[in-house]
Amino acid sequence: MAWLGLIVCAALLLVQPAITIHAASDACALFAQSVLPGLYPYMILLLLLLDRLPASAPYPALVALGWGAGSPCGAKICTARQAKLSPRRLRRLYVCCGTMSPMFLYGTLGQWLHSPLAGLCILLAVLTGGLTASALVTGRKDAPPPSIAQPLTAPALTLGTAVEKASVTLLTVCGCMVLGNVFASLFSHFFQALPQGIQLGVSCLLEVTTASRALVALPLPLPLRVALLSGETGFGALAILMQNRALGPTGLMSFPCQLGCQLLHGLISALIGYGLAVMLL
């Protein structure tokens, strides 16, 4: 019956073309202004580096690389190293590096809040929340990495190929942002009678970037906004979960397990963010 749901979603887009186009344009503009500039060059360099990184590269180095840009770089690292890491470490890396980039957390959110220190609090909260949530990932005991056939010799990835692959990856990111924002806008249109808090909650569930912009504008004390932003960006919303599932290893985590881990990441990040904000702001 999945096809029926897809037909309904497509019909909703056609029924409200003005809302669809405006929401898609808004998401594309936000992607071009706040996501693409920092993520695109890092993604190109990451692909070149992963192609040349020795098989013996330590796990903490992979975590640091994933932290450099968050999603979808963490998912791409998991895919590239799935023949070299145990399943448990892959899942932990997937959770730890599966949300927003430091450039967005510190740079964009700090600028939106007019407080670089607030951006730093959010960054530290999300990174610490990711480490904590990933450490709690359980499941199958560690096993040797799966046997995946690899070519004996392969030419080094060229800059042109890295640019091409990075472009396709970032189109996936943009597409998930667009879908999330479109359906959040359609929900608000069809359920205008609902309280604004519920509409904002649905937006936070569907798309993190536009929801973060709305959270910044709330008339709340700065520490509370820092806590909400830490929780939202630690969670990542369904748009980021979908891009990670599209770009990460197939079958690495079930959707409920992934959703639960990211909710836990968001909750821990919110608590840490609030504590840091109260102490430092």
Per-residue pLDDT of 4-19, as tens digits, reads 888 988 898 989 999 9
- The pLDDT of 235-243, averaged and rounded, is 92
Q: Is 229 exposed, middle or buried (0-12, 13-18, 19+ CB in 10 A)?
A: buried
Predicted pLDDT of residue 142: 47
Q: Is 160 exposed, middle or buried (0-12, 13-18, 19+ CB in 10 A)?
A: exposed
Closest CA to 184 of 26, 73, 42, 53: 26
Does residue 128 surpass a pLDDT of 60? Answer: yes
DSSP 112-151: HTT-HHHHHHHHHHHHHHHHHHHHT--SSPP-PPP-----
pTM of the model: 0.89
Question: Distance between terminal CA atoms of the chain?
Answer: 51
Percent residues over pLDDT 70 in the chain:
94
Does residue 141 surpass a pLDDT of 60? Answer: no
